[in-house]
Structure 1
Amino acid sequence: MNAEPFFAMAEQVFAHLRGDERLFLSLRSEQSDFVRFNRNRVRQAGALQTQELALTLIEGARQVQASCNLSGDPETDRALILAMLGQLRDRIAHVPDDPYLNISDAPSRSHTELPARLPSVREAVTTLTGLGEGLDLVGIYAAGKIADGLASSLGHRHWHQSTSFNLDWSAYLDSDKAVKDSYSGFDWQPGELDSRLSAQRERLAVMARPVHRIEPGPYRAFLAPAALEELMDLLAWGGFGLRDHRTRQSPLTQLASGERQLHPAVTLLEDNNRGLAPGFIDEGFVKADQVPLITNGRFDTCLADARSAKEYGAEVNAGAEWPESLAMAAGELPSDRVLSTLDTGLYIGNLWYGNWSDRNACRVTGMTRFGTFWVEQGELVAPLAVMRFDDSLYRLLGEQLEQLTRERDLRLSAETYDGRSTASSLLPGILVSSIDLAL
């Protein structure tokens, strides 16, 4: 479904409202191709086309919600929506007032279609398998269009459409020895994919050497953007939400109170201008272009969704109280000088199984896994045995942080649990003087 048919259908539904009823319609539409690879060959391929519509009926201070999957046939879908509206109308008389109901009464409009240059699925598969010849490549390619629409009887008309690809894969040596990478975005460049596969081949050659084992303790380390992403995902878990801060359940409570601070080079923001996520929310509010979360190492602004904003008297600036389009400011370290600047220590390509070990102290734990190497005199020497780390983000992003890379990696979420995710992050790599390995 495109914008105009959606808005036309919404107008027809709104004509059936009674009295002071208000209705919000939120559409999520997806057309995606999926290809699963094993041993650099296609093992499964398929295409998906879905349209899910959510209805929110409001009367006074009461609201009820429902959702349905649309067929694509206008007459069938309109009949289904009107039947659901009748069911919601029957229910709303039996629900209590919602003290945190918060909708935008101001009509607003927007229309965004992000440009993209994607190959056909056949072309993408042919390119990947050709460039990956000889590799035991295992992964998933997903690509296609995602659209979000919002229409309300109050006059909201918003449409956001993006087309993107996401290739998430590992190249295996044997058993659990592998090097992981991902390539995603809006502009498919075979040269970039070739460069990433060439780097994997070089690291697989190092991976074939005897495993290097080290004792637990502090080690100088470089964390690639993929490893930093794991830490940012943990930080998003309660780190920036207004409700988490007001109830003092946030791991960044000490940062927000001024008791702690991070390295001045650390600046994080919710960059709604860049992300795949739409710039509006289901309640009709329009997101700010950017929300500064941490500025020069100091806590700046919380993310407040509509309900938290109503509860705590704040302005709505997010559809969810975790980053959906996170960006970290770049540093000055060129990526081609990472190993020479590290000199001796750990190159950590990925972190896994992250969790809080002491949430109040912003202390995290997890495992190294694919693509972690021992480095000596600026050269990859040997693969590192799997280790557990346990350290505070106040240290890793604070006094232990030395440099951030000049180049940043755009990382689109590969999650597909409830449709392809529109979350993304733009992250550098970080060089730290020490990370604590627990075992």
Structure 2
Amino acid sequence: MSDASTALLTDQYELTMVDAALRAGTHDRPSVFEAFARRLPGARRYGVLAGTGRLLELIERFRFEEAELSWLREHHIVSEATLDWLADYRFSGSIHGYREGEVFFPGSPLLVVEAGFAEAVVLETLILSVLNYDSAVATAAARMVSAAGGRPLAEMGSRRTGERSAVAAARAAYIAGFSATSNIEAGRTWGVPTMGTAAHSFTLLHDTEEQAFRAQVEALGTGTTLLVDTYDVSRAVETAVRVAGTGLGAVRIDSGDLPEQVAAVRAQLDSLGATETRITVTSDLDEYTIAAMAASPVDSFGVGTSVVTGSGSPASGMVYKLVARQDAAGEWISVAKRSALKGTVGGRKFPVRQLVDGVATAEVIHVGHAEHDGRELLVPLVVDGAVERQHLGAEGTRAAREHRAAAVAELPPEAARLSRGEPVLPTVYV
């Protein structure tokens, strides 16, 4: 992972607010900010939080080095006094949040940042850009995992998003239950299992389909996956089994009427004695097309565009709001936005997941006081400026994946519905 500064991955008004607060002498007022979603995009039943581990690494690198300071000075973004303050910036506050992989609902305080106003507000854009995208991908991916009914899915959308977003998407999909990714950097950085064999261009490179299959089998072994829809699927399946034998690992279908095509290929493979050869399908899949193949003899799915774009909801609708601060006398006061349709609930929050016989029944958010009448949802992420290391890297990614499985398992059965509707759990403030 690069050590490059992340300080300019932000909006200008974060820095101009710091500039004005410094001038007013209010920049270091102790404050509490929250990141939350007002509603679930796409009228989905629940959201899946992803991006926390990535975010913590980016916060560690949120430093204004000479290159960043020089650019800000040259373009007259803030005053010299503010540049001096930024030069010494190191986040020294504390952050609590939902575990990565946790399910969430409208109003869930997913990230609670406690620090001086300037220290906390300057992180807003970074926090939202990471959590909004990664959680959108994870939420869509979780729906696909549910629709797949236990059959493995591979993320293969790198060519449908930005090069850095592709890595983030692969990680988020893995946390949500995908089993692998085509993206190599996601494997190196985050420990996500990688996969991949050949595209249609490899078949077209060779004089015959048989030559292409032989070259691939010689390089990757008979356990490989052969792509069989470049020309004629039935003829390709016959050639694939003849070349690799009945021990061929899998065939991939990337076009056509998939349910009909899969049934025909399964029958043909069985008739050729390749009863253990698996069938994987790709071809612009989403949760709905995956669900439509529930009765088809598909063994695995590969998903690209839909998962990296959040399957129609590319952002999670999260916002970052000041909910409490100290006044000039040092007393804590709750603050909230009152505008129509965008109001907020002030006060420090302590959320719990209410459970009955192991099944979640409500998201209960205690305002201004901590209670213990359910599964506590906030965990420490940063304590006095020090990041809790267990949330980082490949280890943190695997832990998030495991937690996602446990959190989804707590939800009532209607959480698996793909139709638009109300959140599966109510959010209750007490």
TM-score (norm 2): 0.25
Counting strand residues as a fraction of each chain, which structure ranks higher?
A: 1
Counting helix residues as a fraction of each chain, which structure ranks higher?
A: 2
